[in-house]
Amino acid sequence: MYASLPKTAPIVQKYGGTSVGTGERIKAVAERIARQWRDGYHHLAIVVSAQSGETNRLVDMMRSVNPNASGVAYDMALAAGEQVSVALMSAALEAQGIKALPLLAHQLGIHTDELHAKARIRHIDTDLIERGWKRGAVAVIAGFQGVNSDHEITTLGRGGSDTSAVALAVALKARFCEINTDVDGVFTADPRLVPSARLIESLEYETAFEMASLGSKVLHPRCVELAAKFHMPLIVRNTFTSDSHRRTRIMPQSATGSLEELVVSGVTTDRQIAKLTLTGLRQDSAVISEIFQSLGELGINVDIIVHDKPHADQSLRLGFTIASSDLAAARKVIAELAASKGYDSLNIVAEGGLAKVSAVGVGMRSYAGVAGRTFNALTSQGIVIHMISTSEIKISVVVDEAEATRATQALHREFVGD
Amino acid sequence: MYASLPKTAPIVQKYGGTSVGTGERIKAVAERIARQWRDGYHHLAIVVSAQSGETNRLVDMMRSVNPNASGVAYDMALAAGEQVSVALMSAALEAQGIKALPLLAHQLGIHTDELHAKARIRHIDTDLIERGWKRGAVAVIAGFQGVNSDHEITTLGRGGSDTSAVALAVALKARFCEINTDVDGVFTADPRLVPSARLIESLEYETAFEMASLGSKVLHPRCVELAAKFHMPLIVRNTFTSDSHRRTRIMPQSATGSLEELVVSGVTTDRQIAKLTLTGLRQDSAVISEIFQSLGELGINVDIIVHDKPHADQSLRLGFTIASSDLAAARKVIAELAASKGYDSLNIVAEGGLAKVSAVGVGMRSYAGVAGRTFNALTSQGIVIHMISTSEIKISVVVDEAEATRATQALHREFVGD
């Protein structure tokens, strides 16, 4: 498995919610880890997520007693999910005859800032892990959680366990961080939408970050961002595949060797997008910033923004996308803002049922004609483009959600090839 | 509710698993606490158990990955149950507009010894609670769990939340410790077995301890023991009854005022008892102590012991009861001991399907004829007595489990009156 790795090198492995979703799976993972330990790799740090569904269950329970539950209590409830996974994985390792050192964030010392539900890791103490290794124990560490300077439990937000694993790999000076999940790696498109989608062997951080941000569910963008910042290679692989060559490596650009070609690495699909269009506003920058600030305070992420000033008059037309689940709250806060500030002429049009399809690739910046090819690929299929947004390494289009699969297939055919 | 209590007095309330078993119940408890807070009682410390069924669910999950799960990981898993309850209760209080300070054992500082799954509390830091009160917060504390000197989570064993509450009441110098549960208090017998059973208004510690030990499920004996040691009055009441006079007070003997009468306070019923009878042993005290020591190491509680030396020879006959669930393990360890020590003549007879019915009362010691009345009450109903055991304040009989209800009713009629 780790043929080229010295046996004393620290190895950080993260197992996600589906990998620990049942007792049987936990036992299978523990067997895999025990095999590695018996093969002589004794410096193992295992980061685990909550069992799949568990975080949602805990959130639902909290909402049932308090729809606005947040802060200390909220994080305390959610952290119980990873706590149970750590205990289960440790017990399963012990059943394999392997010593386990179960560690919660406050025990190990995964120190974060004060922000509940979206804390950021400041630093990780590794003493206990290294002391555990000295006495032959595999460290099993709770992902997703941290502790702040008031000794309160914090959580890192969704995707936080990946971030925990990368931060730990950095702290332990591991050579890479292994993300074990329920798919073989990152694909050129979602294989459920595009049957010809291929596993990507290697990706550089920037592309992986865009793909993660644009709806590829395999990795969380924040984890990729952190890995890039510390040049920590990520290896994304399937927990239950023994083929060590079937995986995606994510690493610095220089290592991927694909600088000169146009490589659209993949096509991503993000459903449940809504669009808000605001019209009737005077050309007044304070309005826009107030609206975006209010949305930000509610944690509503504004994605594609299309701002097109009609040249004939002084009124503003602003369109932007958000997650469908945020639509009601966004309409409400904008209406309240309009009422309190006297923006009487403001008109809000909301459209749900949209999806965003993006082609992502590092070579894109140097290739002309990408927008034209995108338009052509979609319109030739009769697919209506609601919005379009480009950056140096991606092009995104917003289409009707019902067209998401066909649009993904069309862009995959155009840029990746079937 | 607390008419005679100064508003600044610390109040410790414990809510058990059924009291926090659903979101609706948690909200109802939070409403009750909020009402007390608004009535001016601001020094509230709320101890909560895991939701009913949750500890068993966690145990089952641990056993599914490791049938012998124990130690650090086991306690870490179980502690998640109370952790979630603390978070839920805190969020429910916040929904009532009451500030909550959720505290896990390691945060507050419920320091225990090192023993996992049956740790004993050494001391409790109360600083955080008192600081919380100063800023108007209700402290919500995880029962059942502690932290040892290695910063590992420990648990106190079944019934541990009651013990946590009593220890906290002692630490906070509360005037009493309120145990809120799913029944109105301690009854003269299990009302499901004896319809005429009555709620006991007050009980002194010794009787309460015997009743708890003898199978009354309302309180754990350890909690009563701790309360007695520190003269901490216990008030056992129904979470969902507003009648503050319907409850059982447990307090020092002098306060109950019932010294001179024969008061059989109640009749308890403990099902799933097994009996082991050892014969063929030489009269050799080392054997008995070795057997009891081995059972103790496995955590098997030996209850009634009947040791009757036949005068004609030197062989020993020893009978004792244990919980049915311990029967297989007990037989195994005794057989192993016999094999390794060469007690070839040892013969073991095991009988399951028994129950223990006990009449408990503080006046018992000074009343003659209790054993005779017990025999008569049972044999007149045709109930076979397998074993009998007496102490200064109780008499216990072992009967067939199928006769447990009739035996309970017979003793209740004889000693308490219908």
Query: pLDDT per residue over B360-373, tens digit each?
Result: 876 665 555 677 78
Average pLDDT, chain A: 88
Give mean pLDDT, residues A234-238.
94
Average pLDDT, integer, range A215-229? 86
Q: How far is B241 from chain A (nearest CA, A)?
A: 21
Report pLDDT digits (tens) over B105-131: 999 999 999 888 889 999 999 999 999
Q: Can you give the pLDDT at residue B259?
A: 42
User: How confident is the model at residue A259, as a pLDDT?
Assistant: 42
3-class DSSP state for residue A187?
A: strand
- Over residues B224-272, the pLDDT tens digits come to 989 999 999 999 999 988 787 899 999 886 554 444 455 677 899 999 9
Residues A143, A148, A151, A155: is their CA dihedral positive or negative? negative
Q: What number is the average pLDDT over the span A289-301?
A: 81
Does A48 touch chain B if contact means CB atoms closer than 8 Å?
no
- pLDDT score for A384: 87
Reported ipTM:
0.76
Q: Which chain A residues have a beta carbon less than 8 Å from that of B23?
A: 61, 64-65
Confidence band, pLDDT 50/70/90 cuts, at residue A362: low
C-alpha A50/C-alpha A19 separation (Å) is 10
Kind plus residue range of the DSSP H or E element containing A213: helix A205-213
Can you say whether residue A214 is alpha, beta or left, with left for phi > 0 and alpha for psi between -120 and 50 degrees? alpha
Q: CB–CB of B80 and A76 under 8 A?
A: no
Give pLDDT, residue A263.
Answer: 62
B151 contacts A102? CB cut-off 8 A: no
Q: In angstroms, rounded to a whole number, what is the distance separating the alpha carbons of residues B57 and B53?
A: 6
C-beta atoms of A77 and B84 within 8 A: yes
Mean pLDDT of A254-279: 73
B66 touches chain A (CB under 8 A): yes
- Identify the band that residue A368 occupies on the pLDDT scale cut at 50, 70 and 90: low
Specify the pLDDT at position A415. Answer: 85
Cβ burial of B175 (10 Å; 0-12, 13-18, 19+) is: middle
Strand ranges inside B38-184, DSSP E: 44-48, 100-103, 110-112, 121-124, 138-142, 145-147, 153-155, 177-181
Say if A87 is an interface residue toward chain B (CB within 8 Å).
yes
Q: Looking at the domain A11-182, which fold is it?
A: Carbamate kinase (3.40.1160)
- Picking from A79-93, A382-396, B280-294, which range would have the lowest pLDDT averaged per residue? B280-294
Query: Region A87-102: what's the mean pLDDT?
Result: 98
Tell me whether the CATH fold assigned to A11-182 matches the one assigned to A267-416.
Answer: no
Q: What is the dihedral of CA B54, B56, B59, B65, to 10 degrees?
A: -90
Contact A100 B73 (CB under 8 A): yes
For the stretch B44-55, pLDDT in tens is 999 999 999 999
Answer whether residue B296 shows pLDDT above 70.
yes
CA distance B339 to B346: 9
Question: Using CA atoms, how far apart are residues B201 and B315, in angstroms rounded to an integer?
Answer: 49
- pLDDT, position A84: 98
Q: Given CB atoms, is B50 within the 8 Å cutoff of chain A?
A: no
* Residue B26: pLDDT over 90: yes
Contact of A88 with chain B, judged by CB distance below 8 Å, is answered with yes
pLDDT, tens digit (0-9, with 9 covering 90-100), for B136-159: 999 999 999 999 999 999 999 877
Give the one of A65, A83, A88 whose C-beta lies nearest to B61's C-beta.
A88
Alpha carbon of B53 to those of A18, A172, B71, B122, B394: distances in Å?
Answer: 24, 39, 21, 28, 32
Q: Which amino acid is at A149?
A: S
Check CB contact under 8 Å for A87 and B77: yes
**Chain A within 8 Å of B337 (Cβ-Cβ)?**
no
The highest-confidence range among A319-323, A362-366, B241-245, by mean pLDDT, is A319-323
Angle at A118 between CA A116 and CA A122, to 5 degrees: 90
Chain B contact for A79 (CB, 8 A cutoff): yes
Q: Which residues in chain B are closer than 8 Å to A58, comparing Cβ atoms?
A: 84
In chain B, what residues touch A62 (CB-CB under 8 Å)?
87-88, 91
Indicate the pLDDT class of residue A258, thresholds 50, 70 and 90: very low
The pLDDT > 90 percentage for chain A reads 53
Name which of A46, A66, A104 to mutate to probe chain B: the one with the most chain B Cβ atoms within 10 A of its Cβ: A66
> Is B37 a residue whose pLDDT tops 60?
yes
The shortest C-alpha distance from A116 to chain B (Å) reads 13
Question: Is A88 in contact with B77 (Cβ distance < 8 A)?
Answer: yes
Q: Is the Cβ of A104 closer than 8 Å to some Cβ of chain B?
A: yes
Q: Phi first, then psi: give them for residue A95, nearest 5 degrees.
A: -65, -25
Under an 8 A CB cutoff, do B87 and A66 touch?
Answer: no
List, in sequence order, the alpha helices (H) in B259-305. 285-297
Asked if A61 and B84 come within 8 Å (Cβ–Cβ), the reply is yes
Exposed / middle / buried, residue B231 (Cβ in 10 Å: 0-12, 13-18, 19+): exposed
Q: Is the Cβ–Cβ distance between A256 and A363 less than 8 Å?
A: no
At position B172, the amino acid (one-letter code) is L
CB–CB of A95 and B61 under 8 A? no
| pLDDT score of A138 more than 50 | yes
Cβ-count burial of A135 within 10 angstroms (0-12 exposed, 13-18 middle, 19+ buried)?
exposed
Q: Are B185 and A141 in contact (CB under 8 A)?
A: no
Which chain A residue has its CA at the smallest distance from B64's CA? A23
Fold of A267-416: VC0802-like (3.30.2130)
A108 touches chain B (CB under 8 A): no
pLDDT value of residue B260: 47
Highest mean pLDDT among A166-180, A345-359, B355-369: A166-180
Measured between CB atoms, which of A74, A79, A94 is closest to B66?
A94
Element of type H or E holding B320 = strand B315-323
Please check whether residue B52 touches A, CB under 8 A.
no
Residue of B nearest to A95 (CA): B66
Residue A282 is inside which H or E element, if any?
strand A266-282
Cβ–Cβ gap A58/B100 under 8 Å: no
Using the Cβ of B100 and the Cβ atoms of chain A, whether some distance falls under 8 Å is answered with yes
Residue with tokens 């002194």: B204
A to B CB pairs, distance under 8 Å: 119
Picking from B27, B107, B152, the nearest residue to A65 by CB comes out as: B27
Both structure tokens of A27: 């036992």
SS3 state of residue B124: strand
Q: State yes or no: pLDDT of A262 exceeds 70.
A: no
- Closest in A80, A91, A107 to B66, CB measured: A91
- A151 at B interface, C-beta within 8 A: yes
Rounded to a whole number of angstroms, the distance from the CA of A60 to the nearest CA of chain B is 10
Compute chain B's Rg from CA coordinates. 23
Query: 3-class secondary structure for A107-132?
Result: HHCEEECCCCCCCCEEEECCHHHHHH
DSSP state of A413: I
Contacts A73 to B, Cβ<8 Å: 86-88, 90-91, 94, 100, 102
Residue B399 CB partners (closer than 8 Å, separation 6+):
B354, B355, B356, B357, B378, B383, B384, B385, B386, B407
Looking at residue A260, its pLDDT comes to 46
CA distance A7 to chain B (A): 27
Question: Any idea where the domains of chain A sit in the sequence?
Answer: 11-182, 267-416
Angle between helices B54-65 and B71-95 (to 10 degrees): 150
Unique residue bearing structure tokens 């949750």: B54
Q: What's the CA gap between B51 and B22, in Å, rounded? A: 7
Distance from CA of A12 to the nearest CA of B (A): 20
State which residue of chain B sits closest to A21, comparing Cα positions.
B61
Q: Of B65, B87, B90, which is closest to A91 when you measure between CB atoms?
A: B65
Give pLDDT tens digits for A398-416. 999 999 999 999 999 988 8
Q: What is the pTM for the complete model shown?
A: 0.80
Chain B residues inside the 8 Å CB shell of A91: 62, 65-66, 69, 73-74, 77
Q: Which residue of B24, B29, B76, B106 to mutate against A (max A Cβ within 10 Å)?
A: B76
